[in-house]
Amino acid sequence: MRKLLGIWVVCLFAVTASVKAAEADKLFYALRAKVLTVKDYKADVRMKIDINRMRIPQLKGILYFKSPNKMRLERQGGLSILPKKNINLTLSNLMPEGNVTVIDAGTGTIDGKKVRIIKVIPEDDLGQIILSKLWIDEASMLILKTETTSRNDGTIAMDLTFGKYASYSLPDHVTITMDVKDYKLPKGITMDYNDTPPPPPKNPNEKKPKTQKGTIQISYLSYDINKGIPDDRFKDQG
């Protein structure tokens, strides 16, 4: 009897795991379809950059995006190019179009909302992303948080809030957190900044932290979506 019960429990777990995996797959592909409806946009943005040892003024400008990975920032007072091999500022970069493995990672809560957590692993070795972890509000079909591990930039986390453009999965505000140890943002992105040496440690024997966190806060004040942006807009992008 106990043996039969054990077999039944194992079978139940296997079926449950299979159902959850299928649900995670379905959720990811539905999200990807929604995110990829945005082919391009022009957004009025404000950026606040908080990087250790850097004094960076608030950045204001217009951010242009064209699928799959073209991006350009025209800031007030001059031009600035956001390199496509650096910080991922759009959800579409977290939605690889090729084959992926989707893993159900359970549930959690964000600001009192129950969220489904999934892990997404690209099956090809062509892109920069190794793993994306997504916290999803299934009721609104919105991604509220991400953690992305890339080949060159370590792990980058994004916290997102949505408003009037939620139907396009376009956020009103994004906070990006990343490891900035030995990392220097290009002056084209940050305008003019001044590096200042870190203060000496209070305790000479105190070890320096292995990682240093920096944040970029982006407020999207308005969007023009899917109006068409010519490739010439991105002609200076490397």
> What span, in angstroms and rounded, lies between the C-alpha atoms of 47 and 216?
7
Of residues 123, 88, 84, the one with CA closest to residue 103 = 123
Among 120-134, 151-165, 172-186, 217-231, top mean pLDDT goes to: 217-231
> What span, in angstroms and rounded, lies between the C-alpha atoms of 66 and 29?
21
Residue 121 domain flag: yes
Residue 174 domain flag: yes
pLDDT digits (tens, 9 = 90+) for 170-211: 999 999 888 766 445 555 444 444 444 445 555 555 555 555
Assign 30 a pLDDT band (cuts: 50, 70, 90).
Answer: very high
E-only strand ranges, the chain: 40-50, 54-55, 59-66, 70-75, 78-80, 100-110, 113-122, 129-137, 142-150, 154-161, 173-179, 194-195, 213-225
Residue 234 domain flag: no
pLDDT digits (tens, 9 = 90+) for 63-81: 999 988 788 888 876 556 5
Residue 233 domain flag: no
Of residues 157, 207, 208, the one with CA closest to residue 53 = 208
The pTM for the full model equals 0.77
Q: Which domain, by its residues, includes 102?
A: 2-199+209-226
Residue 235 domain flag: no
**The CATH number of the domain where 36 resides is what?**
2.50.20
Which residue has tokens 């957590």? 117
Number of domains in the chain: 1
Residue 238 domain flag: no
Of all helices (H) and strands (E), which one includes residue 30?
Answer: helix 2-35
DSSP 94: G
Q: What is the structure's pLDDT at 83?
A: 45
> What span, in angstroms and rounded, lies between the C-alpha atoms of 75 and 191?
9
Q: Which residues of 44-79 are buried (b: 16+ CB within 10 A; e: fewer)?
A: ebebebebeebebeebebebbbbbeebbbbebeeee
Residue 232 domain flag: no
Residue 39 domain flag: yes
